[in-house]
Amino acid sequence: MLKKLGHFLKIQVKNENKNLIQNDFHTENLKEKMSTDFTFILYGPKVRFLYLSAIMDFKNREI
C-alpha cells in the first residue's frame, strides 16, 4: 500500500566490520576466538523480560 502511494524507504546496507575469523573456527588456545549472542526472555504474570547474553569459546565450545 505504501509503495503504491509512493511512500517507501530505500535501505542501504553497509558492512564496515572486517571478517577476522574468515570461517576458521579452529583454535589451539582458550579465549583466542569467541562468539556472543543475546536474547530476551519473557517471564512473570506482568510479562516482564530480561536479557540473556551468552559467550562461547571456540576451543572447548563452553558457554
Q: Is the pTM of this model over 0.85?
A: no
* Spatial distance between the Cα atoms of 8 and 3, rounded to a whole number of angstroms: 5
Query: Could you tell me if residue 15 is inside a domain?
Result: no
Between the alpha carbon of residue 16 and those of residues 13, 19, 38, 52, the distances in Å are 9, 10, 21, 26
Identify the weakest region by mean pLDDT among 3-7, 8-12, 29-33, 59-63. 3-7
Query: Could you tell me if residue 52 is inside a domain?
Result: yes
Q: How many distinct structural domains can be found in the chain?
A: 1
Query: Could you tell me if residue 23 is inside a domain?
Result: no
Q: What is the pLDDT of residues 18-27, one digit of tens each?
A: 888 899 999 9
